[in-house]
Structure 1
C-alpha cells in the first residue's frame, strides 16, 4: 500500500513566490551580466587606451629628442672650437641621448622609462603593424649614431675628430630618424583610435541590451504594481475606517520627527489644535511643554529609534507620560488644564525599527480623580501630623506660638497691602518680611513643628530669589500673598486641632504644668540642636542656665527666645565641628553650647550664648565678603579684625558653602538677631578665639 506524500504547507507559497518574481529575477540577472561584461571590457580597453596615450606621448617626445640631439652636438662642437665652456651643452647632450636611447629600446623590448612628467612610465614593445617597423629601422640608424657620440665624449674632455664624425652622421641621418619617429607616432595613434572605436561599439551594444532588458522589467513591474495598488487601496480603506473609529489619537512618527501619512480623527480633538500628515511632532510639542521637557522628549525618541536598549526597560523614562498642558476650553470660554498621555512603541519592518507608533490619550478625568484622592489623603495625613505635633508641645507654649505667629503674619499682610513708590521700598519690604519669616521658622523648628517650619522655608525660598534681584517690580511681589495665605490656613488648622485636643492634653500625665519659662526654652533649644546635629552628623549638648528667665518682661523673653534660637542654630551648623575634627583638636566628641542669663547690676541682665566650636575666623569672613561681590579686595584688606567680625550681622552675609538649606545659607539669622536686639536697645558684644570658642554677650534692661 502506497503512502500519500504530503508536501509542506510552505512549499506552494514558495513556488508561487518564485513564479511571481521569476521574470524580474531573470531580467535583473541578465541586466547584471550585461553590465558586468560591459564593465570588464570597458575597463580592459580603457587601460589599453591609457597605455596607448602614454606611448603616443613618448613617441612624440622621440621626435623632439632626435632634433635636440643634433642641436646639442652642434652647440658642443662650436663651444669646443671656440675654446668656450662645453659643460652646459655637453650635459644637455648626455641627458638627451640617455632619454632617446632608453625610450627607443623600451619601444623595442618593452620596459620602464622616464615619462614626460618626470615620473616612471611603462611601455609595451611595439607590435607589427603598430610601429614595429619604424622602431627596428630607427635602431639601425641610432646605434651607430650613439656609438660615435659615446666615442666623442671622454672622461676629461672631448675627442674633436670623433665629435666631428658624430656631427656629420647626425646631419646625414637626422631627417631619416625624424621620419621614423613620426611614423611610430602615427602608427600608435591609429592603434589607439581603433581601440577607442571598439570601446564605443561595446558601450553602445551593452546599453542597447540593458535598455531592452529594462523595458522588459518595467513592463512586468507595472503589471505587478497595478495588482499591488489594488491590494494597498483595500488595506488603506480598512485603515482609514479604523482611524476614524478609535477614541485615541494614533499616528506614526518617522525618524525625522514628522507625523506619518495617516492619523486618527480623534488626534486634533485631543490636542485641541489642527494636525496634518507631515507636521513636525516636536514643533507641535513646543507650545505645550517646557524647553527641558522638549529636549528630554527628543532624546527619548532618538533612544527608541537607536534600538540599543529594550523598549520595556526605558518605558519609565517617557517624559510625555501624564503631560499637563494648557489649552483653549471646548466652550471657548478661556484656557483650561488638560492631562495627556503619550505612549510610544517601536514599529518593526523586517526586524528593523521603521517608525514609532504614538498613542495619545486624554487622561484628564483619571488624573483629577487621583489628585482628589491624594488631596484627601494628604489632608488626613497633615491633620494626623499636626495632631502629633500638638501633643508633643505644651498647650501654653503652642498657644503662645500660634498667637505670636498670627500677629506677625497679620503685620506682614499689612505691609504687603501698602502701595510702594518704587523698587527701593519693595526691597525694604522683602528684607523685613524675610527677617520675620526666618524668626517664625526658627521658633517652629525649636518647638518641633516641622510642618510650619517647612512652609516658612518655602516662603524663604521665594523671598531669597527676590532679595537677590537688583530691582524688584510690583508684579514680582504677587507671589508673596500666596505663601502668606498658606501659613494662615495652616495656623487656622492647627488652632482648630489644638482646641479639639485641649482637654486630652490637660488630662495627660505631667502635661498640666507648663513649667518654668526658662526650662521650656532650654528644652526647645536642645530639641532644635538635636535635629540640626543629626542632619549635620554632629553631637551637641545645650547647657542652659535660665533660672532668671521668668523675671524678664514678656517682650524681652520673646526677643531673647528668637535670638537664642538663631544663635544656637548657627552654633550647631557653623561652630561645632564634626566628631573626628574635634578629636583631632583634642576636644571631646560632643560639642557644648552654653546658654545663660544672669543679673548684672540694678535692673540689668546679661544673656550669654557660647559654643566651644571652631570660632569665628576673620580670614574666612574676608573671603566670604569678597565672594559676595559687595566688597572689593582692597576694601576688605583695610578692615581690622574686629570690624571684619562684626560684618557677620549684615543682611545676606553667610559663610555656608554650597546651596542654602532649611538651617543655613540665607544670611538672615544674625540679621534677625541684630534687628530684634535693636528693638530692646540691648548691647551686643562678640568674643571669639579661632579653634576654641565663640561667645555672644547681650546686656539688656529688665
Structure 2
C-alpha cells in the first residue's frame, strides 16, 4: 500500500509555492543587486578619489616647482655676491648652478616633482583610455568628463615637456635658472586652469555616481515593496490554506471515524517497534477480545492469540515486512496469523485472518497496516462445501469405477477388501504386549493396507488410496518408535472406519446398479470396456485390468511401459484362488514400472526401445502352476541395496560387502526395506516385496529371482495345484 506521493500532495499548494519562489527569487535578486551595486560604487568611489588626486598632484607639483625655483634663485644670488670681485672666467656660467649646491630639501622636492609628474600622467592616461592605476580599475571617460580630460591634456602636454626638460637638466647635475623660471611661470599661468578642469571632471564623476545611487535606491525601494507584498500574500495565502486544510482534515477525520466505527473488519497500524497506533477500527477490540489497544505492543496482544513458540515467528515476519530487500508476497506463507482459531465467550470457535500490508511513502516503508477478518462463516461454509464436494467426489469415483470395471473384478475387490479390513480389525483387537508381537502386528497391518492400496490404485479409487497412504504413514512412525504399546494403534481406527465406509458405499452402488445379480456391471448398463465385450471371460478381464494398471503406473511415473501376457488362455481360477496371484502380480508390476523400467532418455542411451516391456507368462504341468513376470529394465541394483542397508544401520560397510546375492535378495524382501528415497503411491513404503513373499508362502509355492544389471529382472513362481 502506497500513500500519496509528495508531488501529488504539493499540487494544492502550487500558488503558494509560486509566491514563495518569487519571494525567494526577489530576495536573492536584491542580494545580488546589492552586492553588484556595492562593488560598483566602491569602484566609482575609488575612481572619483583618483580624479580628486589629480588636483592634489597639480598643487603639490606647483608648490614644489616654486620652492625649487626659490632655492635656485637664492643660490644664484649668493654666488653672485661672493664672486663679485673675481674675473668673469672664474665665475659660474650665468644662471646655471650645480645640483649639489641646493639644500637637501630642494633635492627632495625635485625627486617628488618627478614622481608627481609620473602619477599625473599615468592617471590621466587611465582616464583617457581606461586602465589600472594604483590598484584601481579606471574605465575610459565619456561625455563631458572626457571633454574635461581632453582640455587637461591640451594644457598638460606642454607642461609635461617643460617638466621633462627640467628633470633632464637635473640628471646632468646642473640646473638652469632660466628653465626653472620658465616652468614656474607656466605653472602660475595654467595651474588654476588645471585645477578647475580636474575639479569639473571630478564633479561630473560624482554626479554620475549620485545618479546611479538614486536609481539603485529606487529599485531597492521597489523591490522591498514587492517583497513585503509577496510576504503578505504568502502569509495570508498560508493562513487561508491552513484554514482550508484544517477544514478538510476535520472532514477527513470525521469520515475516517465513521469508516472505522462502521467497518466490520479490524484495521490498525503498527510501527517498527510493534506498537499499535492510536487509531483503529471499533470492531477490532471485539474481534480479538482486548480493550484499549492503542499504544500497546502488538506482540503482547498476540500472546493471547498464538502459542508462545509462534510469537518469535510473528516478530520475524513483521521485521521482514520492514526490510526493503524482501518481497512482500514471498513471505506471506510465513504469517503465523494467517488463519487462527480463538474461543468466544460462548465457547464457540472464531476463525480470524490477519493480513499485513506495507504502507510506503516515497519508496520508504513507514508502517504496516493489519487487516483482521472474521472468517468464521467462510470457514464453516468452506468446510461444508468441501464435505459435500468430497462426498460427491467419492460418489462419482465410485460410479466411474463401477462403470469401467469388470463386475467380477469389482466384486472380488470388495470381498477381499472387506476381508482384509476384518483381519486388520481383529489384529487391532488382540491384546499383544510384547515388542516382537506388536511389531509383527505393524507389519501385518502394513501388508494388508498396502494390498488394499494396490488394488484401489488399479481401480483408480483415489480416496481409498489416500486413506491407505495415511495409514502407511502412521505405521511408518510406529516402525521408527523404540517401543510400542497398544495405545499407539488407536490413531488407525478412524482411518479404518473411513475405509469401511467407502467400501460399503462402493458395495451399495455396485449392488444397486447390478440389480443384485452377479453379472458384469458393464453388461448390465450396456457399456462394455474398450477391448472387451460381454463374452469376455473372467481371466481376460483380469489381464486387461492389469494392463490398464501398468499404463496408469507408467503415466504417474512419467514413463512408457507395455504389458504383454502369454499362456493364460486356458487358465481357470476362481476369485479365491486368483486373489493371492493377483496380489503378487500387482506388487510385481508396480515394482517393475517404478524400479525397473528406465526413463525414456536412459533407455535410448542404452540402445533400448523407448517403451519398456513387461511380460507375464503362465504355464502348468501335472502338479504345478508356473508364473513368470519379467521386465527389460534396469535390473536389480545390488549396490543400492547395500547402501540402503548401511544407511538404515542394519549392517556396517564391511559387513554388507560380504553379503551374497541371495542374502541381499532376502534383505530386499524384508518388511520396511526400500531403496527409494521418497515414497509415492506406487512404491517406497518397503511393504510390496513382503506381500509377495507372504503370498507365495501362503500358497506353498516357490519363487526364483534372476536379474542382469541394466538388462532385465525375472521373477519365476511355482504353485502347487492342490
Query: TM-score, normalised on structure 2?
Result: 0.59
Contact conserved, 1:549 with 1:597, CA < 8 A, in 2? no
Residue 366 of structure 1: aligned partner: 378
Secondary structure of the residue aligned to 1:301 is helix
Q: Equivalent of 1:536, from 550, 557, 575?
A: 557
Q: What corresponds to 1:597 in structure 2?
A: 618
Q: Which moved more, 1:582-591 or 1:634-643?
A: 582-591
1:87-120 Cα distance to aligned partner (Å, 9 max, x none): xxxxxxxxxxxxxxxxxxxxxxxxxxxxxxxxxx
Q: Within 5 Å, give how 1:240-639 maps onto structure 2.
A: 246-272=263-289, 276-282=293-299, 284-285=301-302, 288=305, 298=315, 301-307=318-324, 314=329, 317=332, 323-332=338-347, 336-347=348-359, 352-421=364-433, 424-502=436-514, 505=522, 506-508=524-526, 510=528, 513=534, 515-547=536-568, 550-552=571-573, 554-602=575-623, 604-639=624-659
In 2 relative to 1, CA 13–308 (structure 1 residues): closer, same or farther, beyond 3 Å? farther
Partner in structure 2 of residue 651 of structure 1: 671
- Partner SS, residue 260 of structure 1: coil
User: Please, which of 701, 715, 720 is the counterpart of residue 682 of structure 1?
Assistant: 701
Asked if 1:696 corresponds to 2:715, the answer is yes
Structure 1 residue 454 displacement after superposition: 3.1
Deviations 1:362-384 (A, max 9, x none): 12112222332343234323322
Give, in whole Å, the separation in 1 of the partners of 2:361 and 2:559. 61
C-alpha contact (below 8 Å) 2:343/2:350 kept by paired residues:
no
Shift of 1:10: 5.0
The answer as to whether partners of 1:339 and 1:363 remain within 8 angstroms in 2 is yes
Matches within 5 A, 1:190-201: none
CA shift in 2, pair 1:352/1:432, >3 Å: same
**Cα distance change of structure 1 residues 606 and 275 upon mapping to structure 2, 3 Å threshold:** farther
Q: 1:648 & 1:275 partners in 2: Cα distance?
A: 66
Separation in structure 1 between the aligned mates of residue 684 and residue 304 of structure 2, nearest angstrom: 37
Distance in 2 between residues matched to 1:345 and 1:263, nearest whole Å: 15
Note if contact 2:706-2:715 (Cα within 8 Å) is conserved in structure 1: yes
The superposition leaves residues 265-301 of structure 1 with CA deviations (integer Å, 9 ceiling, x where unpaired) of 5334312456744444345446645899867755653
Q: 1:340 to 1:541 in 2, by over 3 A?
A: same
- What is the Cα deviation at residue 446 of structure 1? 2.4
Return closer, same or farther for 1:544/1:259 CA change in 2, 3 Å cut-off.
Answer: same
| RMSD between superposed Cα atoms in Å | 3.9
SS in 1 for 2:706: strand
Instruction: Label 1:493 to 1:615 Cα distance change in 2 as closer, same or farther (>3 A).
Output: same
Q: CA separation in 2, counterparts of 1:287 and 1:331?
A: 17
Equivalent-residue separation in structure 2 for 1:660 and 1:429 (angstroms): 22
The Cα shift of 1:408 comes to: 1.2
Contact 1:344 1:357 in 2 (8 A): yes
Structure 2 counterpart SS, 1:421:
coil
Q: Deviations over 1:488-527 (max 9, x none)?
A: 2222222232233325731415478473333223212211
Whole-Å Cα distance in 1 between the matches of residues 487 and 333 of structure 2? 36
SS in structure 1 at match of 2:674 = coil
Counterpart secondary structure, 1:551? coil
Distance 1:609 1:282 in 2: 64
C-alpha contact 1:549 1:557 (8 A) present in aligned 2: no
Q: Secondary structure at the match of 1:521?
A: helix
For the residues of structure 2 that align with 1:672 and 1:632, how far apart are their CA atoms?
27
Rate the CA distance shift 1:694–1:239 in 2: closer, same or farther, 3 A: closer
Once residues 675 and 626 of structure 2 are traced to their aligned partners in structure 1, the CA distance between those partners, rounded to angstroms, is 28
Per-residue CA deviations over 1:160-212 (Å, capped at 9, x if unaligned) read xxxxxxxxxxxxxxxxxxxxxxxxxxxxxxxxxxxxxxxxxxxxxxxxxxxxx
What 5-or-longer segments of structure 1 have no aligned partner? 1-7, 19-226
C-alpha distance after superposition, 1:93-151 (max 9, x if no partner): xxxxxxxxxxxxxxxxxxxxxxxxxxxxxxxxxxxxxxxxxxxxxxxxxxxxxxxxxxx
- CA–CA separation in structure 1 for the residues paired with 2:675 and 2:699: 27
Contact 2:265 2:373 in 1 (8 A): yes
Q: Say if 2:313 and 2:336, in contact at 8 Å, map to a contact too.
A: no
- SS state of the match for residue 625, structure 2? strand
Q: Deviations over 1:575-611 (max 9, x none)?
A: 1223333344343333222212222333x22222122
Q: Distance in 2 between matches of 1:483 and 1:388?
A: 23
CA contact (8 A) 1:559 1:676 kept: yes
The 2-side partners of 1:360 and 1:327 are apart by 13
Larger Rg, first or second structure (1 or 2): 2
Change (3 A) 1:635 1:240: same
Q: Aligned partners of 1:9 and 1:259: how far apart in 2?
A: 31
Higher relative contact order (CA 8 A, sep 6+): 2
Partner of 1:70: none
1:95: which partner in 2? none
User: CA distance change for structure 1 residues 369 and 587 in 2, over 3 Å: closer, same or farther?
Assistant: closer
Query: How much has 1:472 moved relative to structure 2?
Result: 3.5
* Kept in 1: contact 2:403–2:527 (CA 8 A): no
Matched length: 480
TM-score, normalised to structure 1, is: 0.60
Q: Structure 2: where are the runs of 5+ without partners?
A: 1-10, 22-241, 516-520
Task: State the shift of 1:533 in Å.
Answer: 1.6
Q: 1:422-471 CA distances to partner (integer Å, 9 max, x unpaired)?
A: 65544332221111111111122223333333332233223223323333
Deviates more, 1:612-621 or 1:290-299: 290-299
Cα separation, partners in 2 of 1:291 and 1:451, compared to 1, 3 Å: farther
Q: How many angstroms apart in 2 are the aligned matches of 1:554 and 1:238?
A: 77
Residues 616/287 of structure 1: CA separation in 2 closer, same or farther (3 Å cut): farther
Q: Note closer, same or farther for the CA distance 1:288–1:531 as it changes in structure 2 (3 Å cut).
A: farther
Closer, same or farther: CA 501–546 of 1 in aligned 2, 3 Å: farther
**Distance apart, 1:664 and its partner CA:** 1.1
Q: Secondary structure at the match of 2:322?
A: helix
